[in-house]
């Protein structure tokens, strides 16, 4: 039976589970058929090829200020009754990924003064210790699940320690992180997702304000204190900018790292030759993580918006149009990657764009990389006979963030 692959891609992006399980078959066909096209179902332009996605990520004419387009999708009666003082409405346009230059450059400069490579590298001993502890606990489970037992809790624990939030709040952090990931990643579920996010924003603001006030009185060696202290020529982050970008680190950081870990172990378990190679040569962890990022990109999509009519990727695109850049498909482009559907942890010259490119390159990429580089070799060393116990994996119902909901394993 023949299949309309453009329709299949639209169904995939609308979270059809059958199509989600045929993701890379669909990618291969669509990429060969349609470089760029407009989807009436999604009300978006779709970019499928590496060169066009890369160009769009670097194109300053395209806007990252997408909140207006999200709000536009809400029914008029909802828009008209929104509380203008809701923290979400004040703060969603304060996160770096939702701003254009010069506002984006200003925020990035200030946040980079706090979230430094040195601060990230200092988390290595913590990541190692937490991984040991969680692997001990996973080894005692009657039915271990890598996602539940390690890939979800560890990134939350790391980011909580980095920011300076007590571990007893981890359950709340997970709920807020999930709400944020859905808000950032589910353009087709706007109304339900919006109200969940609005509630989470109110709760998070009430939670974080006392911590910020405490750090102002008594700074500590953590990211909250560093954010408060960050300064450039007398300029500092406002209260809303502080809260918005801390929330961004919680939501996008947790989601991306959980999915990177889950996708990574799943890919290794499905390719036992590569798993054995990494187990025997843990020094390959760096290139292995880069291949995981390319092969099963944890962030599959990013978006842009046109503020005026322009020509890009051979298309004339009007003003006020939304563009969907398929990062995961671009990372499987045969014009760029030799044998793109082969998982090869020794792959050279791996120019994937899993973390984006240009001014909006993912701020949390170094931390996600570090966690995966430390954790995956430790798992294989600790449990050399680890294997899947269920061949049917269910993927998260989110078109932007790709990762397994569960990963049941046997350890011996």
Average pLDDT score over residue span 94-99: 88
CB-based burial, 97-120: b 16+ in 10 Å, e otherwise: bbbbeeebebbbebbeebbeeebb
For residue 39, count CB atoms less than 10 angstroms from its CB and return exposed for 0-12, middle for 13-18, buried for 19 or more. middle
Q: What local confidence, expressed as pLDDT, does residue 194 receive?
A: 80
**Per-residue pLDDT, 253:** 79
Band of pLDDT at residue 88, cut at 50, 70 and 90: confident
**What is the spatial distance between Cα 259 and Cα 403, in angstroms, rounded to a whole number?**
4
CB-hemisphere CA count at 13 Å for 142?
0
Q: Which of 260, 275, 20, 22 is nearest to 146 (CA)?
A: 260
Residue 123 per-residue DSSP state? T
Return the pLDDT at 86: 75
- Cα separation, 137 vs 65, in Å, equals 43
- For the chain, what is the mean pLDDT? 91
Q: What tokens does 235 get? A: 């300029």
HSE of 163 in the Cβ direction (CA atoms, 13 Å)?
27
pLDDT in tens, 261-293: 999 999 999 999 999 999 999 999 999 999 999
Each residue's pLDDT tens digit, 57-83: 999 999 998 765 566 666 666 666 566
pLDDT at 84 over 70: no
Residues 289, 64: Cα–Cα separation, whole Å? 27
Give residue 80's pLDDT.
64
CATH code: domain 35-410 is 1.10.630.10
pLDDT-wise least confident of 74-83, 92-101, 248-257, 268-277 = 74-83
Please compute the mean of the pLDDT values over residues 14-25 and round it to a whole number.
90
For the chain, the domains span 1-34, 35-410
Question: CB pairs under 8 A, 24+ apart, for 209-217?
Answer: 211/164, 211/165, 212/239, 212/242, 212/243, 215/164
């Amino acid at each position: 039976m023949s299949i309309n692959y453009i329709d299949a891609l639209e169904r995939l992006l609308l979270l059809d589970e059958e199509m989600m399980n045929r993701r890379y078959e669909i990618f291969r066909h669509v990429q060969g058929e349609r470089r760029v096209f407009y989807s009436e179902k999604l009300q978006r332009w779709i970019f499928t090829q590496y060169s066009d996605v890369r160009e769009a990520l670097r194109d300053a004419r395209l806007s990252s200020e997408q909140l207006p387009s999200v709000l536009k999708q809400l029914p008029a009666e909802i828009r008209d009754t929104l509380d203008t003082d809701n923290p979400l409405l004040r703060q969603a346009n304060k996160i770096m990924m939702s701003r254009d230059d010069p506002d984006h450059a200003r925020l990035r400069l200030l946040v980079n003064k706090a979230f430094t490579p040195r601060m990230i590298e200092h988390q290595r001993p913590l990541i190692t210790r937490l991984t040991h502890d969680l692997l001990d606990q996973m080894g005692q489970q009657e039915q271990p699940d890598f996602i539940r037992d390690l890939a979800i809790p560890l990134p939350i624990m790391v980011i909580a320690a980095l920011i300076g939030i007590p571990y007893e709040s981890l359950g709340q952090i997970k709920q807020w992180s999930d709400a944020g990931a859905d808000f950032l990643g589910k353009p087709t579920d706007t109304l339900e997702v919006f109200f969940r996010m609005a509630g989470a924003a109110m709760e998070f603001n009430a939670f974080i304000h006392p911590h910020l006030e405490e750090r102002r009185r008594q700074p500590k060696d953590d990211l909250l204190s560093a954010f408060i202290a960050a300064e450039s020529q007398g300029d500092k982050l406002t209260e809303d900018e502080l809260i918005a970008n801390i929330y961004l680190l919680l939501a996008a950081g947790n989601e991306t790292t959980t999915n990177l870990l889950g996708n990574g172990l799943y890919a290794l378990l499905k390719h036992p030759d590569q798993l054995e190679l990494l187990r025997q040569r843990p020094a390959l962890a760096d290139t292995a993580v880069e291949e995981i990022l390319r092969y099963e990109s944890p962030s599959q999509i990013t978006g842009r918006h046109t503020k005026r009519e322009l020509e890009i990727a051979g298309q004339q695109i009007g003003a006020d149009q939304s563009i969907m850049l398929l990062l995961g498909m671009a990372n499987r482009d045969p014009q760029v990657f030799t044998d793109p559907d082969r998982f090869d942890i020794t792959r050279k010259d791996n120019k994937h764009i899993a973390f984006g490119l240009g001014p909006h390159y993912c701020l949390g990429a170094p931390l996600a990389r570090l966690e995966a580089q430390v954790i995956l070799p430790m798992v294989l060393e600790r449990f050399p006979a680890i294997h899947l116990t269920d061949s049917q994996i269910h993927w998260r119902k989110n078109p932007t963030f790709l990762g397994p909901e569960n990963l049941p394993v046997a350890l011996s």
